Structure 1
Amino acid sequence: MSECLLCRSELGNDVFPYSTRFNDRTYRYRNCVRCGSSTIDPLPGPDELAAMYRQDEYHGVFYDQPEEEPSTVLDSFLSATGDGPHTLLDFGCGSGQFLKAAKALGFRAEGVEIDPVVRLKAAQASGCPVHALEELEQGSQRFDVIHLGDVLEHLPDPAGSMRALEALLSKNGQFFLEGPLETNPSLVRTAGVLFGSVRANLGRQAVGTYPPYHLFQTNARAQRAFFEERLGYKIDRFEVWETGWPYRSTVRIESIGARIRDVIGRASVLVAGVAGPSTRLGNRFAALLRPSSL
């Protein structure tokens, strides 16, 4: 029986976005009966993960875009870590844009990536050292801040990965995490579920053809519970906000359907802003976390 990757509870029914087919295998998102997250079922194995994250299929598509922007909360969150200079490790550093921005803020920044081609490109783009994880695990170097930006939801064992990374934190070190809240309340989420349900009821439920990159989808409450209850971390800061993704458009809109989605995306941002932080409306989070063992 598959279990929720965040709280380890039993999985229930299939939920939006329902299913996708990759590498001759169908994957479905199933709802967690306890925390409201959803987890992909079946969980991709090592061979499937390797196929999903080939350089030409993943990094070459998603991280070679010159217009890529660094974290929108980078400055405010990293300034909350105290007076520098600090050492920082970006776990899953991608193209190196976050490393470059952290370096500009005065951090002694380094990165981690699996693929050697990606490591070389990230190092060249950022001007920072980029390592294989094994290299750091076998050494004695420790970091004041470890950043995971849109990484946690890609990990088949998020709790185990966080525990392993604790060994690379210095005394009083902190994790800085950012990521999506795909099942959190928002107008975009409501519209997506509604459209998907209508299609399903009309017998037109589409099976996706994209790789199941996000192994779980979650909400603000469940994400906090994962950090506090399962990992036992102290949350120094936790913020939620709305971007309107994937409906809000940043390019020229050509069709009526795209215009409607853009309006929904922009309205979602507006409603979340008016509602205020206490409602926790939004599709992204950022958190500063401190393991209790340090």
Structure 2
Amino acid sequence: MEAVTECPICDNVEFKSYLTCRDYLVSNEKFIIQECISCGFRLTNPRPDDKSIGNYYKSENYVSHNDESGGFINVIYRTVRSYTLSSKTRLIKKINGGEGKLLDVGCGTGSFLEACKSSGWQIAGVETDSTVKALAQEKLKIQVHQDLSEIPNKESFNVITLWHVLEHIPNLNDAVRRLSMMLAPNGTLIIAVPNSNSYDANYFKEYWAAYDVPRHLYHFTPSTIEKLINKYKLQVIETKPMVFDAFYIAMLSTRYQTGKTNYIESLKVGLRSNAKARKTGDSSSLIYIVKKL
């Protein structure tokens, strides 16, 4: 385990306890989420170090690393994913004004990159898990990088995407700095992360599945995302809700809370969360569309 002694956003050294959550996916261990008393940034602290964090991803139910994991919830996830992949490819094409050069960070088994390749994009990917990376390379027939640092400095991309990935990256500031440098002129950075200020986060509290400790090292809100990217001359120009996330996360959360998935309760919470988000902007998960200043 390692302790974070300075806030990655504001460098403050004082934190307060926010929640204690359990790892329901792998270890059943408890982890503390702290909040910076200066800027409000939330993070898992202490957290597994680089040598041990991989052990917390070793589950056949970790669906982004496994195209064939079972269970009804994961079947729903993959069914919805086929729709959201189309939505994502339409979004990046609209933002970029056509196809171009794209980097997907945390590409998993390569489903999104495969859809982009089929749509005419030049693709590149980063995936830190060596086993999953091999699956992506076999599917995509390209070399997938293991780390952002492997990408040559001269490379630039019209679109860089991180779909539920930024919350997993230990060296947060280094990653955002590199991503900013890799953007082509008028390029777009797209970051999708859970929102710990959402209705469903406040409803489920320590059982909220999107805390996903210790794999999620950070627990963003719209305010803290903006503070982070503004440090690197980047600006959020638009946010978009990820509507399906509220239902998927609620299904997992009810199972963590009671030991059994409550589909009716999950539907109610998901509907309420999305309804409230239309007024507040605090969706369960948000897509941040980011440009250079």
SS at match of 2:241: strand
1:38 paired to 2:39: no
**Matched letter for residue 181 of structure 2:** A
Aligned partners of 1:38, 1:78: CA distance in 2, in Å? 29
TM-score (norm 1): 0.75
Contact 1:142 1:170 in 2 (8 A): yes
Residue of structure 2 in register with 1:133 after alignment: 147
Contact 1:27 1:42 in 2 (8 A): yes
Matches within 5 A, 1:106-145: 106-133=120-147, 136-138=150-152, 140-145=154-159
User: Could you say if the C-alpha distance between residues 220 and 237 of structure 1 is closer, same or farther in structure 2, counting changes exceeding 3 Å?
Assistant: same
Q: 1:215 aligns with which of 213, 217, 231?
A: 217
1:189 paired to 2:191: no
User: Could you say if the C-alpha distance between residues 262 and 282 of structure 1 is closer, same or farther in structure 2, counting changes exceeding 3 Å?
Assistant: farther
For residue 28 of structure 1, report the CA deviation from its aligned partner.
1.4
Residue of structure 2 in register with 1:100 after alignment: 114
Higher relative contact order (CA closer than 8 Å, sequence separation 6+) = 1
Question: Which 5+ residue runs of structure 1 have no aligned equivalent?
Answer: 197-207
Contact 1:113 1:130 in 2 (8 A): yes
SS at match of 2:247: coil
SS at match of 1:290: strand
State the structure with more CA Rg. 1
Contact 1:233 1:290 in 2 (8 A): yes
For residue 7 of structure 1, report the CA deviation from its aligned partner.
4.0
**Matched letter for residue 225 of structure 2:** Q
- Matched length: 269
Residue of structure 2 in register with 1:238 after alignment: 239
Give me the identity figure in percent: 19
- Residue by residue over 1:94-153, the C-alpha shift from the partner in whole angstroms, topping out at 9 and shown as x without a partner, is 110111122233211121123443222102223444233368434633221111111111
The structure richer in helix per residue is 2
Question: Which 5+ residue runs of structure 2 have no aligned equivalent?
Answer: 69-74
User: Could you say if the C-alpha distance between residues 291 and 34 of structure 1 is closer, same or farther in structure 2, counting changes exceeding 3 Å?
Assistant: same
**Matched letter for residue 193 of structure 1:** K
Matches within 5 A, 1:249-264: 258=260, 261-264=262-265
User: Could you say if the C-alpha distance between residues 262 and 37 of structure 1 is closer, same or farther in structure 2, counting changes exceeding 3 Å?
Assistant: farther
Aligned partners of 1:8, 1:285: CA distance in 2, in Å? 25
For residue 3 of structure 1, report the CA deviation from its aligned partner.
3.4
Query: CA RMSD for the aligned pairs?
Result: 3.6
Aligned partners of 1:3, 1:247: CA distance in 2, in Å? 32
Contact 1:148 1:178 in 2 (8 A): yes
Contact 2:176 2:229 in 1 (8 A): no
User: Could you say if the C-alpha distance between residues 273 and 12 of structure 1 is closer, same or farther in structure 2, counting changes exceeding 3 Å?
Assistant: same
Contact 1:145 1:169 in 2 (8 A): yes
**Matched letter for residue 29 of structure 1:** I
**Matched letter for residue 263 of structure 2:** D
User: Could you say if the C-alpha distance between residues 6 and 245 of structure 1 is closer, same or farther in structure 2, counting changes exceeding 3 Å?
Assistant: farther
User: Could you say if the C-alpha distance between residues 40 and 173 of structure 1 is closer, same or farther in structure 2, counting changes exceeding 3 Å?
Assistant: same
User: Could you say if the C-alpha distance between residues 50 and 268 of structure 1 is closer, same or farther in structure 2, counting changes exceeding 3 Å?
Assistant: closer
1:175 paired to 2:206: no
TM-score (norm 2): 0.76
**Matched letter for residue 192 of structure 2:** E
Aligned partners of 1:288, 1:185: CA distance in 2, in Å? 19
